[in-house]
Amino acid sequence: MSSTRDLTYIAAITEALDVEMARDPEVVIFGEDVAGPFGGAFKVTKPLTEKYPPERIFNTPMCENAFISMGTGMSLMGMRPVIEMQFADFITSGFDSIVQFAATNHYRWGGAVPWVIRAPCDGGLRSGPFHSQNPEAWFTHSPGLKVVAPATPADAKGLLTAAIRDNNPVIYLESKILYRSQRGVVPEGEYLVPIGEAITVREGDDVSIIAYGSQVREAQQAAERLREEAIEAEILDLRTLKPLDTDAILETARKTGKVLIVHSATGNTGVGAEVAALIAQEAFEWLDAPIQRLTGLDIPVPFSPPLEDAYRPGAQKIVERARALVEF
């Protein structure tokens, strides 16, 4: 059995990359400034540049569409590229390579495209509209892609390992606000978390809070405050956004009859809308109140700290919405 250590979210990501590069010589890493002394915008790959040769981890020009396409070609030849977007926001420059080619390739002629795009996303760091976006809904809407969003260091390692080994293209969303602020127990060595499985991180009978990414931590803080009011909230961490764990979603909805869905991305046609539609279609008779969503506002992410705080969901907002649901 693997021993465990306490690691930050970002260290768990680095460890997953290290384990997989050591295990499989076909795993390579590339992106803007990931190699050399810089070692990535957030230093995720810096420890690896001193350990692996330049053909295993290397820099690319600032041309996302080109180097994602290169990754698809490498995948078709049997390699397993891990492609870093410096920020998830820049993924728009490679959109055609992802949804028009990589995602459809297996359906068109059977070629596997086992790449992973690491996409540092989310706000809360006063980084403004070009460095704070949550683009998951674009990719959950694209057949052929898998999309994961870990909330804890253990899941960050386990889901990245599973993504690298998956034969499908996977968008791996990293919440930047968790990088160095979230710590947790992480198994050593090889560790996988299956793609497509949600996890109940807190049991409760009064209201279900369904979240992912950084909002799982906010939901846990909210649940502790709600407990002081004798409200027991159940928290379901989706972990995988595509494919959704429909069984887990419906189970918690049927258990409590009251559901609050929380995510940092804007609400309009977001992942929360799909979850709400699933519950309305498959568990309507168990509901005791309307399904609620608490999301980012339908505006670009503000730079101003008070405006960004108003834009983002958070623990206190979750408390207020969950309390209202329980009192419905």
Q: Please say if the pLDDT value at position 135 is more than 50.
A: yes
| Cα separation, 185 vs 202, whole angstroms | 17
pLDDT band at 4 (very low <50, low <70, confident <90, very high): confident
Is there a single domain that holds both residue 26 and residue 142?
A: yes
Report the percent of the chain where pLDDT is more than 90. Answer: 96
CB 144, CB 169: distance < 8 Å:
yes
Are 16 and 158 in a shared domain? yes
**Does the pTM of the predicted model rise above 0.95?**
yes
How far is it, in rounded angstroms, from Cα 156 to Cα 118?
Answer: 11
What CATH number does residue 274 fall under?
3.40.50.920
Q: Is residue 11 a part of any domain in this protein?
A: yes
Give 188: exposed, middle or buried? Use CB within 10 Å, 0-12, 13-18, 19+: middle
Domain residue limits at 287: 199-326
pLDDT of residue 263: 98
If asked whether residues 183 and 270 sit together in one domain, one would say: no
pLDDT in tens, 10-65: 999 999 999 999 999 999 999 999 998 889 999 999 999 989 999 999 999 999 99
- Catalytic: 263? no
Residue 295 lies in a domain: yes
